[in-house]
Amino acid sequence: MEKQVDILIIGAGISGIGVAAHLSKNSPQRQFEILERRESFGGTWDLFRYPGIRSDSDMSTFGFNFKPWCKANVLADGASIKGYLGEVIDEFKLKEKIHFGHRVLSANYDSTSKKWHVVVEDSNKKQQTWVANFVVGCTGYYNYDQGYAPTFPNQDAFKGQLIHPQHWPENLDYTGKKVVIIGSGATAITLVPAMSKGGAGHVTMLQRSPTYIATVPSIDFIYEKTRRFMSEETAYKFTRARNIGMQRAIYALSQKHPKTVRRLLLKAIEMQLKGKVDMKHFTPSYNPWDQRLCVVPDGDLFKILREGKASVETDQIEKFTETGIQLKSGKHLDADIIVSATGLQVQIMGGVQAKVDGKPINSSEHMLYNGIMLSDIPNMAMIIGYVNASWTLKVDIAADYISRLLNYMDKNNYDEVIPAGNKNEMEEDTVMGKLSSGYISRAAHELPKQGKHAPWQVTNNYLEDRKSLQNAKFDDGILHFHKHSDVNTRKPKLVS
């Protein structure tokens, strides 16, 4: 038997919970349900369980605009973030809306009925079709089942444990063990100090090339002081606005004056290493923000390296051995445990097989309208956060826009909206812009494309996006609206 729903939100992570909260506030006349394949909410913050798991954005901007983060810590651990999301679920009474253990297998839009037919499988492997008026994809941007795990030469020869952070073994005992962490991104630089403090005998970070790393304070003392004479909400808004401005200024400066920013970042690292570690390990060949800038609280990574409790090697892997890793330089790294912190596999819409009238949708053949809706795809929105700022900033403004769009459709009795694409607008770059990170480069065939001009151009500029989305008009000639009674309804095309 089919299940009829109004709005179907796919995913109960930070995006899905944020969208649901905004719909509850701004579009109370609409009903929604949330499908979550896991047995708990939280998405990333439920999946990842490795030591030290934390945000890499400050919590004043990673928190929602409608719910202050009321703690002074700048970054937060995974459990605290999940707890924060749990509070949002309670405050907006979302628990009864979330269907756990429900995995979306496929989705097909029928342009005659103007509805999505979504095949869902529950934890008992029972399948059911959910029929929805509108679908919002809140599945994040990576494959939850499998991280990026390259096969290393002679990998099977290693006698110890080989672990990917995305699938961290429960109760792993690494006390006194020699640990090698392959990678230099956010996960690797979090694991090194966490595992060292957790009792590892020695931790080595093995990187093919260095990454820019900035130190941030663990406690926001300005926020601590302002909330003594301001309300919690006002102090949060002030801190949030300050941090958004700082993030944007640093990114803009990196684009205009990369040599200056590079010099400042490297000087700050040099001061923290105090001559104990060779700067070659922290001197990237690319410019700041060609790849995402990583952060560490209170310079914990540099402190561990200075103290000799951990080390870093910049080299290439020749092969695995029974006892560790042989490097191309001739050096051998002994290891009891090897952690392959080699990144994510990008995946749009959680791997759902989406179609329109039976024709498959290839996201890379489409653009994003206002950074939210795929060109030529009806009654669907998706949340893709920022690559140069907190993910949640995009969730807030996108969810608010979706609410306004639905309200506009209700007011005018529209059943269908299609952002009409123009193939002459399409660029080769993806919506991730010029970032050259490995996981983005590997995903060019998955990601929607950039457009030459607004509203098809994804700028990754929160301040510009907030202004444009708040002021966006729906009768712009690009959004095509239809009523169910329309006789000559244009069928959606699948080529942008």
DSSP 18-65: HHHHHHHHH-TTS-EEEEESSSSS-THHHH--STT-B-SS-HHHHS-T
Same domain as 171, residue 73: no
Average pLDDT over residues 328-334: 98
| Nearby residues of 422 by Cβ (< 8 Å), 6 or more positions away | 456, 496
In a domain, residue 78? The reply is: yes
Say whether pLDDT at 147 is over 60. Answer: yes
Domain count, the chain: 2
Within a domain: residue 150?
no
Instruction: Tell whether 277 and 422 lie within a shared domain.
Output: no
- Asked whether residue 281 falls in the same domain as residue 360, the answer is no
* Residue 432 predicted with pLDDT over 90: no
pLDDT value of position 182 = 98
CA separation for the pair 228, 138 (Å, rounded): 37
Segment (H or E) for 10: strand 3-10
The pLDDT of residue 486 is above 80: no
Mean pLDDT taken over the chain: 93
| 496 pLDDT above the threshold of 70 | no
Average pLDDT in the 329-341 region? 98
Instruction: Give residue-wise pLDDT tens across range 156-173.
Output: 999 999 999 999 999 999
Residues 112, 17 within the same domain: yes
Is residue 492, in this structure, part of any structural domain at all? no
Find the mean pLDDT for residues 126-139.
97
Query: 415 in a domain, yes or no?
Result: yes
Does one domain contain both 309 and 417?
no
Residues 215 and 274 placed together within one structural domain of the fold: yes
| Residue 434: pLDDT band with limits 50, 70, 90 | low
Instruction: Give the Cα separation of 190 and 346 in Å (integer).
Output: 21
Query: How confident is the model over 295-305, as a mean pLDDT?
Result: 97
- The pLDDT of 299-322, averaged and rounded, is 97
> What pLDDT digit, counting tens, does each position of 441-473 carry?
676 778 899 999 999 999 889 999 999 999 999
Residue 393 is assigned to a structural domain of this protein: yes
Domain boundary among 282, 315, 340: 340
Q: Which of 456, 392, 387 is nearest to 419 (CA)?
A: 456
pLDDT band at 429; cut points 50, 70, 90? confident
> For residue 114, is pLDDT > 50?
yes
* Same structural domain, 397 and 437: yes
**Position 439 confidence tier, pLDDT thresholds 50, 70, 90:** low
Percent of the chain with pLDDT over 70: 96
105 shares a domain with 72? yes
Shortest CA distance to 141 belongs to which of 452, 442, 428?
442
Q: Mark which of 285, 319, 340 sits at the end of a domain.
A: 340
The string of pLDDT tens digits covering residues 37-58 is 999 999 999 999 999 999 999 9
| Whether residues 386 and 426 fall in one domain | yes
Q: Is 124 exposed, middle or buried (0-12, 13-18, 19+ CB in 10 A)?
A: exposed
Domain boundary among 324, 340, 356: 340
pTM (2 d.p.): 0.93
Those residues with Cβ within 8 angstroms of residue 283's Cβ, 6 or more apart along the chain or in another chain: 210, 266
CA distance 416 to 381: 12
Q: Is the pLDDT of residue 316 over 50?
A: yes
Q: What is the DSSP letter of 293?
A: P
Identify whether 494 is part of a domain: no
Domain around 296: 155-340
Evaluate whether residue 375 is within a structural domain.
yes
Same structural domain for residues 200 and 161? Answer: yes
Q: Residue 130 has what pLDDT?
A: 98
What pLDDT was estimated at residue 423? 87
So what's the pLDDT on residue 484?
A: 74
Same domain, 335 and 350: no
Q: What is the CATH number of the domain that holds 107?
A: 3.50.50.60
Average pLDDT over residues 316-320: 98
pLDDT digits (tens, 9 = 90+) for 82-113: 999 999 999 999 999 999 999 999 999 999 99
Residue 144: the pLDDT is 87
pLDDT tens, 229-278? 899 899 999 999 999 999 999 999 999 999 999 999 999 999 999 999 99
State the pLDDT at residue 436: 58
pLDDT mean over 201-214 = 97
Residue 119 has pLDDT above 70, yes or no: yes
Quick one: pLDDT band at residue 388, thresholds 50, 70, 90? confident
Is 487 contained in some domain? no
Output the pLDDT for position 451.
92
**Pair type for strands 426-430 and 178-182:** unpaired
487 pLDDT band, cuts 50/70/90, is very low
Mean pLDDT confidence for 135-149: 90
Residues 174 and 101 placed together within one structural domain of the fold: no
